[in-house]
Amino acid sequence: MTPKEQNVRVRFEEASGAPPEERYLLRLYVTGMTTRSARAVKNLQSICDEYLDGRYDLEVIDIYQQPALTKGEQIIAAPTLVKKLPLPMRRIIGDMSNRERVLFGLDIVPGAAR
């Protein structure tokens, strides 16, 4: 990561009020390895690697392979990202291509940037 990219990441963390050491627990629910599911995984990994480097755990759950893991999660569409930690819990539906929306949902971008 270049110094400029590092500076941008630090500014986002400061703006969000999230301590830099705070870990993110993320679950991405997908339906098989469709094009849309693969795009969601790729987009989310890119965002997490850039903004949460080393501070996140991402679990990709195929709802066809592991339907029991969706119980209690209220998954109504896929792909769906569930941010379990840090609180508050959030859900983001789609292929994660709208970076601003994903960053806002992860509390990485302040509400004013919405």
* C-alpha span between 20 and 106 (Å, rounded): 14
pTM for this predicted structure: 0.76
* C-alpha span between 82 and 25 (Å, rounded): 8
**What are the residue ranges spanned by the domains of the chain?**
23-109
For 3-19, the pLDDT digits (tens) are 665 555 555 555 555 55
The secondary structure of the chain in percent helix, strand, coil, rounded to multiples of 5, reads 40, 20, 40
For 6-60, the pLDDT digits (tens) are 555 555 555 555 555 689 999 999 999 899 999 999 999 999 999 999 999 999 9
Query: How does DSSP classify residue 1?
Result: -
Q: Please, what CATH class does the domain formed by 23-109 belong to?
A: alpha beta
